[in-house]
Amino acid sequence: MTAPTTAPTTAPTTGFGPELSRETVAPRAPWSAVLTAGQVLTIVDVDGNQAVDFLAYDAEDTSRAYSVQATLQGQGSVYLTEGSVLRTNEHDPLLTVVGTDVERHDTLGGACSKESNTLRYGHHTWSQHGCADNFLAELSKYGMGKRDQVSNVNWFMNVPVDPDGALGIVDGISAPGLSVSLRAERDVLVVVSNCPQVNNPCNGFDPSRAEMIVSAGTTGTQEA
């Protein structure tokens, strides 16, 4: 499913040290990489309002998976923004948000799946492509599986919580070319699903491209 392509070398730099790789993730495709501690992953919302579903694991022990609950326990908001630290289920820091062009990103909505689509929209959606299938396919490359798929981050996705507790995926607040940058705090396996959902506004009803730029990182940026 993955169809990364090399982007033009004239693309702007991220300001996080020498660029090591730059790949475009096709609409609806998965992607993964192992980041070395200190490297920075910049995710670009190329065409605008494209949810990028994101999981991360300690590369040395993948049972230490990203945990939304541990992450939120370590900060004062249910949204991710600059300075947010993504944590494992054991509370270890995995990645720090060292830059974001979008005010906030979602932690609550989790991934779409063909199974949950049947509840959200009806059984007519069963044959559609969902993020869970992307995650499972990509995790399988690392000998990992369903038990490893936990609730994920949704970069560029807008999920407000109303005073009565109503929450939902609403029209996005991102735009073409906006990005978020994450510094690896240890060696981290990151797994991405460039969301294929077409039944709600998380991708503007039109799944589009994401760009993944890995930079070497800069010194002196610890503990943003």
- Asked if 161 touches other proteins (CB under 8 A), the answer is yes
Element (H, E) at 213: strand 210-215
Q: How many chain residues bind other proteins (CB under 8 A)?
A: 49
Do residues 66 and 150 touch, judged by C-beta distance below 8 A?
yes
Q: Which is nearer to other proteins, 68 or 192 (CB)?
A: 68
Q: What is the dihedral of CA 94, 99, 100, 101, to 10 degrees?
A: -170
Residue of 9, 12, 127, 147 interacting with other proteins (CB under 8 A) = 147
Residues whose CB is less than 8 angstroms from the CB of residue 221 and which lie 6 or more positions away in sequence, other chains included: 16, 98, 183
Rounded Cα distance, 180 and 185, in Å: 16
Q: Are strands 5-6 and 153-155 parallel, antiparallel or unpaired?
A: unpaired
- Asked if 67 touches other proteins (CB under 8 A), the answer is yes
Residue appearing with tokens 């906030």: 104
- Asked if 201 touches other proteins (CB under 8 A), the answer is no
Q: Which is nearer to other proteins, 127 or 166 (CB)?
A: 166
- Asked if 223 touches other proteins (CB under 8 A), the answer is no
Q: Tell me what percent of the chain is helix, strand and coil, each rounded to the nearest 5.
A: 15, 30, 55
Residue of 127, 162, 219, 223 interacting with other proteins (CB under 8 A) = 162
Per-residue binder mask for other proteins (CB under 8 A), 125-144, x = binder: -------x------------
- Asked if 68 touches other proteins (CB under 8 A), the answer is yes
List residues binding other proteins (CB under 8 A).
Answer: 62-63, 65, 67-70, 72-74, 76-79, 89-92, 104, 108-111, 113, 115-120, 122-123, 132, 145-151, 160-163, 165-169
